């Protein structure tokens, strides 16, 4: 009954999990292909394999959904990824924009003993350096509530930056240039009709950010 899962399969399951969060049902072949930078035909092959292993339910032409065991593996991979990111930032002094690629490799190391000891060593962190919640060893994850995107905040409101929807290095470096980091207090001053750009106040300084940036900032209203 216990199949072995390799890093390719872990990557597919993680991608499907991530795409399932936006709650349309049945993740499409094309969406997975785009997310993994591969071709739709390759995805179809893999979906048939994962379906045989009982990790996804797959109906031809209608996309896939994770089964509970598939979801558990996805969440465990995410757990490993985020714990390693914490390790890299907290212990090895990497910047938060440098850790994702390395964690993409480390997340595939197979040893639950290692993962759990790492968790303890790091002090059982609840969030990774990008504000993403870390699943526990049972695959339970804290769905952050009371949060929304900065682009959805109402004008005049105050909020705290608690997460980023894009962990790419180029985006994170861009944020740093605007003095934005996790925990920053932000006041939304205005949204301009023309290009949906936003005027915000951070650390007593007024700045302008694009709607593209605001769409990737997860905030908690104060």
Question: Which residues contact DNA (rule: CB under 7 A)?
Answer: 6, 8-9, 28-31, 37-49, 58, 60-63
Report the DSSP pairing between strands 217-221 and 56-58.
Answer: unpaired
Q: Is the Cβ of residue 63 or residue 133 nearer to DNA in the bound state?
A: 63
From the list a copy of itself, DNA, Mn ion, none, partner contacted by residue 48 (C-beta under 5 to 8 A by kind)? DNA
Q: Is the Cβ of residue 88 or residue 188 nearer to a copy of itself in the bound state?
A: 88
Identify whether the C-beta of residue 209 lies closer than 8 Å to the C-beta of residue 215. no
Q: Is the Cβ of residue 109 or residue 157 nearer to a copy of itself in the bound state?
A: 109
From the list DNA, Mn ion, a copy of itself, none, partner contacted by residue 8 (C-beta under 5 to 8 A by kind)? DNA
Alpha carbons within 13 angstroms on the beta-carbon side of residue 32 total 27
Question: Which H or E run contains 200?
Answer: strand 198-202
Give 123: exposed, middle or buried? Use CB within 10 Å, 0-12, 13-18, 19+: exposed
Give 143: exposed, middle or buried? Use CB within 10 Å, 0-12, 13-18, 19+: exposed
Q: Which of 35, 39, 38, 45 is nearest to 15 (CA)?
A: 35
Report the nearest approach of DNA to the CB of residue 38 (Å): 4
Report the nearest approach of a copy of itself to the CB of residue 80 (Å): 12
From the list Mn ion, DNA, a copy of itself, none, partner contacted by residue 211 (C-beta under 5 to 8 A by kind)? none
| Residue tagged 């390719």 (tokens) | 8
Identify whether the C-beta of residue 29 lies closer than 8 Å to the C-beta of residue 47. yes
Report the nearest approach of a copy of itself to the CB of residue 93 (Å): 7
- Segment near Mn ion (CB under 5 A); pick from 63-71, 120-128, 178-186, 202-210: 120-128
From the list Mn ion, DNA, a copy of itself, none, partner contacted by residue 60 (C-beta under 5 to 8 A by kind)? DNA
Rg for the chain, CA atoms, rounded: 19
From the list Mn ion, DNA, a copy of itself, none, partner contacted by residue 105 (C-beta under 5 to 8 A by kind)? a copy of itself
Enumerate the β-bridge partners of residue 129.
none
From the list Mn ion, DNA, a copy of itself, none, partner contacted by residue 130 (C-beta under 5 to 8 A by kind)? Mn ion
Q: For binding to Mn ion (CB under 5 A), which residues are involved?
A: 85, 100, 128, 130, 132, 167
């Amino acid at each position: 009954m216990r199949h072995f899962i390799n890093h390719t399969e872990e990557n597919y399951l993680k991608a499907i999990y991530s795409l399932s969060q936006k709650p349309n049902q049945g993740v499409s072949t094309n969406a997975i292909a785009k997310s993994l930078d591969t071709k739709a035909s390759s995805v179809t092959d893999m979906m048939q394999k994962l379906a045989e292993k009982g990790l996804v339910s797959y109906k031809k032409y209608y996309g896939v959904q994770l089964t509970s065991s598939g979801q558990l593996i996805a969440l465990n991979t995410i757990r490993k990824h985020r714990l390693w990111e914490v390790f890299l930032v907290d212990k090895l002094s990497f910047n938060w924009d440098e850790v994702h690629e390395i964690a993409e490799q480390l997340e595939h190391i197979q040893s639950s003993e290692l993962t759990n000891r790492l968790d303890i060593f790091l002090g059982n962190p609840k969030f990774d350096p990008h504000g993403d919640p870390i699943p526990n060893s049972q695959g339970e994850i804290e769905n952050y509530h009371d949060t929304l995107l900065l682009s959805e905040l109402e004008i005049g409101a105050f909020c705290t930056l608690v997460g980023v929807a894009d962990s790419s290095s180029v985006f994170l470096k861009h944020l740093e240039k605007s003095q934005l980091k996790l925990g920053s207090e932000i006041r939304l001053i205005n949204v301009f009709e023309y290009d949906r750009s936003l005027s915000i106040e951070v650390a007593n300084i007024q700045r302008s950010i694009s709607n593209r940036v605001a769409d990737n900032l997860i905030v908690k209203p104060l």
